[in-house]
Amino acid sequence: MEMVQFERMVARLETSSQQRPWLYIAEVLGLVLLGFVILLAMTGLAGLVLLAVVGGLIWVLAVGPGAVWLLVAKLGKLLIFALVPLWMLLQNSFKALFIRLPAPQGRELSRQDAPALFKALDDMRQRMKGPRFHHVLLVDDVNAAVVQRPAFGLMGFPRNYLLLGLPLLEAMTPDEAMAVVAHEYGHLSGAHGRFGAFIYRLRLTWSTVQAHVDAWQGRVGKLPSRLVGWYAPYFNAYTYVLARKQEYQADAAAAELVGLPAAQSALKRSNVAMACHSAFMDKTIETVRLEAQPPSDLAMRWAKEAAADQAASPRWLSDALDRQPNPLDTHPTLRQRLRALGVPDEHLGHSPDTLAGPSAAQVWLGEQLPQLREAQQTAWREAVNEGWTQQHQSWVERRKALADLQALEERSSDQELEVLRLTLNLEPEADHREGLAAFNAAHPDHALGQFLEGVARLDQDDDSGLANLERAIALDAHATKAASEKAWRFLLKRDTPAAEAWAQRWRDRDAWEQERARQVDTLSDQDLLLAPTLSAEARAQATTLMARHTQGVKRAWLARRQIAADPSYETYVIVLELTAWAAFRSKGPEIVQALAKEEWPFATHLCLLKSFPGYKAKLDLVGDALLR
């Protein structure tokens, strides 16, 4: 479903659901039934046809004359080809109906591990009158979630999973964390009615089933894939309005459980905690410049960071409040959710207080907390260790390259610029404007120098860097996307129309590059061919490579292709004419594949003349014979 179509449907349904809510619910119920009918119909139809064919065959063999046996024996392959697709359709339909969804991953917590947590969950369940959790998992996310995993795809017997992010628990009070959990639990407990809870689960299940069905291969597998691929997005779009309403109802259920102040604070703190954790991880990753190994106490560091006073909290909260609605996300914006909970507009920007008492992690996990922190930080360290080592080594090599360049008594202009580039890279917090400006004064037509000065100026909140970026683009159009992205990020919070203009330049350049790539990748004998413009060395290397593959090749030509989107783009085509014996034995693909494995000193396509006969006359005029 296209985005425009989706947005129009949602706008129409929002209006109709308010005017005639009973009709909207009836339509949703009809869609639910249609989904089951689709799967049952595919399964039943394939089964009936398969049964009829097999039964008819058995009957014919049982009562027919001997000639029938001979006919069946001769047509055996045709019968198999007829039965196999029906069997595959039946099998795939059952898979869609009873697909086994993957279980969520995380460290399982038992009642013995965290008695305080389970006591809080028991109290929540008793007050909200919902189902029990079969599994409670601790994960390494700044989030909490409730996942319901049906035992058989769309069928019943669900298993309920609670996923608790340890980084989130470190940043919240117990009441705030319970508000987050209660919001998720509200979707299962019937906070928006049994029918609403059923639709919520069904939306998630259909999305997961669609993801699995999309992977099926073959024509028969594509039949249920197409039906599910049509139905699941349509069902999710149609129930979007109901799902958005359910988010508000889940917030209200959480507020009823923990109180309005805690629910309001939880919404703010969860958004601030996510931004804080992102900044914390960025700062941690930056230490790869100097530290050969990743930190071994990441979880402990985060616990201290989460409890500290954060000067950036107002900015993080402001960013979250200003976030625009995502048409594909059923969650309302933070501003909308806080207003629905009764927060006055003048209080929306008030940041949550710094944690004064123990965090939810300390209260709920108790004596097990140190062990759980250690397990998570060890798992993280093992996961990133290899990449960390490689990144650290690259920084070591950059510092060595800078030292080697600085040790030179005389440097070329490119070496001078490389010194500035490496210094900018290794010391991002320093002000490099003066050195880059001096270089560009001496070398005004150096595109990379202009780009680096522009970046350095914008990093120092100096908008004169925009002129440097413009100059870099004028000198080298390849700088367009990088310069546009940098300018857009700088202007996003300062001048929205100007930022959008830079974003449009990025999109225009990207569209042009994609069109050029399409033309380069698409070979046609209608292409305009030009004489090669290779260096003598590249031409000699191509001749040597071609000489290794003379068997089966009668002649080979080399020509440059004219790319309409970018006539300056240099790309070639090597056209092969096979010997009669090689052509008779269909050796063309094998020969082309062998040549494609060689490392050609230029970008090129390889093709057979018989597949592109329109090339012949052009090659006679401009082609360079690699093999005669």
In a domain, 602, yes or no: yes
Res 152: pLDDT: 61
Residue 274 has pLDDT above 90, yes or no: yes
Nearest by Cα to 546 from 486, 498, 606: 606
Res 531: pLDDT: 94
More confident residue, 148 or 375: 375
- Tell me the per-residue pLDDT of 455-504, one tens digit each, with 9 for 90 and over: 999 999 999 999 999 999 999 999 999 999 999 999 988 888 999 999 99
Q: Which residues contact 33 (CB under 8 A, 6 or more apart)?
A: none
User: Read out DSSP for 500-543?
Assistant: HHHHHHHHHHHHHHHHHHHHHH---TTS-EE-----HHHHHHHH
Taking the C-alpha atoms of residue 336 and residue 334, their distance in angstroms, rounded to an integer, is 5
How many alpha carbons fall within 13 Å on the CB side of residue 611?
14
529 pLDDT band, cuts 50/70/90, is: very high
In a domain, 569, yes or no: yes
Residue 116 has pLDDT above 80, yes or no: yes
Average pLDDT over residues 393-403: 95
Q: What's the domain count of the chain?
A: 2
User: Same structural domain for residues 513 and 535?
Assistant: no
Distance set, CA 208 to CA 3, 141, 229, 290, 399 (Å): 20, 21, 11, 43, 48
Average pLDDT over residues 562-584: 93
Which secondary structure element, helix H or strand E, spans residue 161, and what is its range?
Answer: strand 158-165
Distance set, CA 162 to CA 133, 143, 316, 422 (Å): 7, 11, 27, 47
In a domain, 360, yes or no: no
In a domain, 359, yes or no: no
CATH number of the domain at 565, please. 3.30.460
Q: Helices in 214-259 by DSSP H: which ranges? A: 219-238, 240-258
Res 102: pLDDT: 73
Q: Which domain holds residue 488?
A: 413-519
Nearest by Cα to 466 from 439, 443, 486, 494: 486
User: Same structural domain for residues 418 and 514?
Assistant: yes
User: Same structural domain for residues 419 and 513?
Assistant: yes
User: Read out DSSP for 46-102?
Assistant: HHHHHHHHHHHHHHHHHHS-HHHHHHHHHTHHHHHHHHHHHHHHHHHHHHHHH--PP
User: Token pair of 35, please?
Assistant: 């989904």
User: Same structural domain for residues 538 and 614?
Assistant: yes
Among 149-153, 598-602, 620-624, where is mean pLDDT lowest?
149-153
Other beta carbons within 10 angstroms of residue 486's beta carbon come to 21
CATH number of the domain at 423, please. 1.25.40.10
The sign one gets for the Cα dihedral 497, 499, 505, 509 is: negative
More confident residue, 423 or 227: 423
Out of 469, 485, 519, pick the residue that ends a domain.
519
Tell whether pTM > 0.75.
no
Taking the C-alpha atoms of residue 119 and residue 111, their distance in angstroms, rounded to an integer, is 9
Residue 189 has pLDDT above 60, yes or no: yes
3-state secondary structure of 208: helix
Q: Are 32 and 202 in contact (CB under 8 A)?
A: yes
Taking the C-alpha atoms of residue 149 and residue 161, their distance in angstroms, rounded to an integer, is 8
In a domain, 163, yes or no: no
3-state helix, strand, coil in the chain (%, to 5): 65, 10, 25
In a domain, 406, yes or no: no
Distance set, CA 443 to CA 417, 436, 437, 457 (Å): 10, 10, 10, 18
513 pLDDT band, cuts 50/70/90, is: very high
In a domain, 207, yes or no: no
Which amino acid type is present at position 53?
A: V
Average pLDDT over residues 304-315: 89
User: Same structural domain for residues 539 and 595?
Assistant: yes
Res 362: pLDDT: 96
Give the distance from CA 113 to its chain's centroid: 35
Nearest by Cα to 439 from 462, 412, 404: 412
Taking the C-alpha atoms of residue 15 and residue 295, their distance in angstroms, rounded to an integer, is 53
Among 8-17, 297-306, 385-394, 426-435, where is mean pLDDT lowest?
8-17
- Tell me the per-residue pLDDT of 21-66, one tens digit each, with 9 for 90 and over: 777 778 777 877 777 776 666 665 555 555 555 555 555 555 555 5
User: Token pair of 29, please?
Assistant: 């119920």
User: Same structural domain for residues 535 and 509?
Assistant: no
User: Same structural domain for residues 459 and 504?
Assistant: yes
Among 105-114, 129-138, 316-325, 383-392, where is mean pLDDT lowest?
316-325
217 pLDDT band, cuts 50/70/90, is: very low
User: Same structural domain for residues 421 and 494?
Assistant: yes
User: Same structural domain for residues 430 and 489?
Assistant: yes
In a domain, 212, yes or no: no
User: Same structural domain for residues 489 and 549?
Assistant: no
User: Same structural domain for residues 509 and 467?
Assistant: yes
User: Same structural domain for residues 459 and 485?
Assistant: yes
Place of tokens 């401009």: 622
Res 475: pLDDT: 96
Q: Are 294 and 384 in contact (CB under 8 A)?
A: yes
Taking the C-alpha atoms of residue 193 and residue 204, their distance in angstroms, rounded to an integer, is 17
Taking the C-alpha atoms of residue 122 and residue 496, their distance in angstroms, rounded to an integer, is 49
Out of 519, 542, 557, pick the residue that ends a domain.
519
In b/e form, how buried is each residue of 446-480, taking b as 16+ CB within 10 angstroms? bbbbbbbbbbbbbbeebeebbebbebbbebbeebb
Q: What are phi and psi of 265, to 5 degrees?
A: -65, -35
Eight-state DSSP code of residue 249: H
Residue 205 has pLDDT above 70, yes or no: no
Out of 519, 543, 559, pick the residue that ends a domain.
519
Taking the C-alpha atoms of residue 109 and residue 111, their distance in angstroms, rounded to an integer, is 7
